[in-house]
Structure 1
């Protein structure tokens, strides 16, 4: 039986779709292309970094899951910040997260065109970008079920690539495969000459933000709930399973890579996946991984269109603005179509900005700032969950986070620690300062507007 919400949106996503969307959101180009850089920073200790970050992300997912279980009608988990921390922080989180998704979509669109042009260099990048964005927009504007199937298919391709790497790696380790540089695959490569901080403690700290952002997208579970069949059955399963699967994929893949060849010999300028398959004697490795990277970027863009549309729709529902009221439209197929279309159209500015060097640099800076704002949204989400547990809304027989009085503050402290570590890296310090400035300016403007509209009200 078809499940239709009061606002006209439809619950058509299955447990499998939700699992694949969450896996696909968190397994992106960062793993396939950027893993070499994270390994280079800390060596085998990177496994510990992934484990720690992954466990704290699992706590946040339990927090999001608990709130969404209580109210599965919400189209975004960020709505709970609005509900439990007030409209000021709520608007900051909703607008900031929406902006982050738009900029992420722009970046993925540019990446897709870049990697496709390695095969067809004579086709203009802008044409590729318009075609890809058009196809994905049509998918997102049709029916939720089609989006779920498309995203599941894209995620499966990424997962197959990781599983293939792990199985090839296990075979190479089992037969002590001889590498071109004279070393042999073996578990001893992981522990040989081990030091916790091979490039110093600061590089170890710098690995935390990189790994943190590699898990970004896992929270998409908290955006699909309002359009998921039987959410109170699906949500607990998805939250419990997806975190550990991602940890297995990340830690398993990185462990195998470092076992095949000593980590000191892994290049940080090229994909470690390509390096491993080439060592295994697969000359077409770079072409295969190029295809997987295109799939990963397409999956991320597809999710960005879906998520940004739902966030903008949520903002429109909560706003009294005449302009935003037009974005409350829900199509006959249950899609907040105007919000999705508006968000997708904004992503077209990515290719335009990338065409101009000065604007491209500005775009990169703004994208970095938005990335750092994501940490602030995560912190606010955890605070909102703590407030929820203290409120009369608390659902005693719901999907509860265990030991929230301990785990919730610990997670807030850890996310704060990750944000602070960015000030120890000259590449991250300006975006981190920019994120704080954005928070202060946004809240100041909101307060000023309140005073202007109600001068007799003491705020």
Structure 2
């Protein structure tokens, strides 16, 4: 991101190319949850996991269409969170803005923890904490450059993930066409349809899988953040969002169908990546190393995006709220980067290596990501409520990038996200994070409500 410094302004010059945002949008729909979590999600509910992915994908598409519509009417806004302040109120905007900033910091910490584990796979003697510090330093350095470098980094990170997914799908097609046998079973759709049961492990496992799939989709709205950085935001944003259903079907549903065609879903272990199994099946002896490289770049991509997003959010929030303690974060470097905001954010993420030294770090990783997912749901719900108010305002443009059947689909999406959040209180692995999220909502919600408004200070 490069800021226009003429006349002391701090408006951004758009630095991302169309190919950047298109590739970032594609890769943004592919999370590490798919590469590492596919086995666990399939083991929960079998082939009906496809329906879960389609449902969550549909909810996220409606969310992104509403965000896209609001940004389309006012592309000068560099965050969809600004619309919450505009249409719901200053106090709610304050709550959601800082909640979102904190959530993405947590996501960055979780991804850095994962990166340390992935590097440890290759360098078991190398200290995990040191590898995390090196990676954080490198990505912080990249973020001191302009948006073009961010775009190029994400472009190639995303390309690696896409090649891995497409390669696996093509592998499944070739195996089916050549009547290849996986053990005693032939590769084909019969592995999905034979003895099909909609709830093979009970309806509770079906609903438990929603949380895992939701984690795979969170932060997809980063496309709304990057849209503000394109040279021609309106057509680029419109195209990127409209193509999301195709990407979900191709990359998520397509990958899961390919996996379950090659292996009977009952034979897929919950604690192993199916991607490793498939590449080993076709003779790739270094399959584990290959997938480790893919998930490493995927986590690095997520961390890079999180640093980019949280830095700009902290800069924008500091300018918007005008609090004296936040004034240092409103300063720009000579090349127009909010460097102080970046350094502060990186310092918070820097806590991660010390967390990695705790023996229960794996539980800490699960806790952090679960809390982040829960709070993402609250952010999404408030954003959708803001959209409903936007539809009733004079800003609504019936000839713009209008969300289809919004009066019907948006309330359903709010209900869907709400039910997923409530369901988190009924499963052992998500209960504590759900309680923690609820405490944050209540405590920081009260702080936001009791905080004097700007008008009162004027």
* Distance of aligned partners of 1:140 and 1:370 in 2 relative to their CA distance in 1, 3 Å threshold: same
CA distance in 1, matches of 2:330, 2:186: 60
The aligned runs of 1:37-436 (5 Å cut-off) are 37-179=40-182, 181-357=183-359, 365-436=367-438
CA distance in 2, matches of 1:242, 1:359: 34
CA distance in 2, matches of 1:79, 1:109: 28
CA distance in 2, matches of 1:363, 1:38: 18
- Please provide the CA RMSD for this pair: 2.1
Q: Tell me how far 1:9 sits from its aligned partner.
A: 2.4
Partner deviation per Cα, 1:150-179 (whole Å, 9 max, x = no partner): 101000000000000000111111122122
Q: Tell me how far 1:118 sits from its aligned partner.
A: 1.5
CA contact (8 A) 1:9 1:330 kept: no
Q: Tell me how far 1:454 sits from its aligned partner.
A: 6.9
CA distance in 1, matches of 2:350, 2:20: 27
* Distance of aligned partners of 1:66 and 1:171 in 2 relative to their CA distance in 1, 3 Å threshold: same
CA distance in 2, matches of 1:54, 1:399: 20
* Distance of aligned partners of 1:4 and 1:397 in 2 relative to their CA distance in 1, 3 Å threshold: farther
TM-score by length of structure 2 reads 0.94
Q: Tell me how far 1:341 sits from its aligned partner.
A: 2.3
Partner deviation per Cα, 1:133-161 (whole Å, 9 max, x = no partner): 11111111111001001101000000000
Q: Tell me how far 1:387 sits from its aligned partner.
A: 0.7
Tell me whether 421-430 or 165-174 shows the greater mean CA deviation.
421-430
Q: Tell me how far 1:356 sits from its aligned partner.
A: 2.7
CA contact (8 A) 1:113 1:129 kept: yes
Q: Tell me how far 1:332 sits from its aligned partner.
A: 4.2
Partner deviation per Cα, 1:340-375 (whole Å, 9 max, x = no partner): 222122111011122134788567535432321110
CA contact (8 A) 2:179 2:187 kept: yes
CA distance in 1, matches of 2:364, 2:186: 45
CA distance in 2, matches of 1:263, 1:69: 43
Partner deviation per Cα, 1:362-414 (whole Å, 9 max, x = no partner): 67535432321110101011001111111122233321111211111111111
Residue 228 of structure 1 aligns to a residue in which SS?
coil
CA contact (8 A) 2:133 2:353 kept: no
* Distance of aligned partners of 1:252 and 1:365 in 2 relative to their CA distance in 1, 3 Å threshold: closer
CA distance in 2, matches of 1:426, 1:450: 39
CA distance in 2, matches of 1:449, 1:215: 33
Q: Tell me how far 1:246 sits from its aligned partner.
A: 2.9
Question: Please, which runs of 5 or more residues in structure 1 have no aligned partner?
Answer: none
TM-score by length of structure 1 reads 0.94
Tell me whether 369-378 or 241-250 shows the greater mean CA deviation.
241-250
* Distance of aligned partners of 1:54 and 1:136 in 2 relative to their CA distance in 1, 3 Å threshold: same
Residue 157 of structure 1 aligns to a residue in which SS?
helix
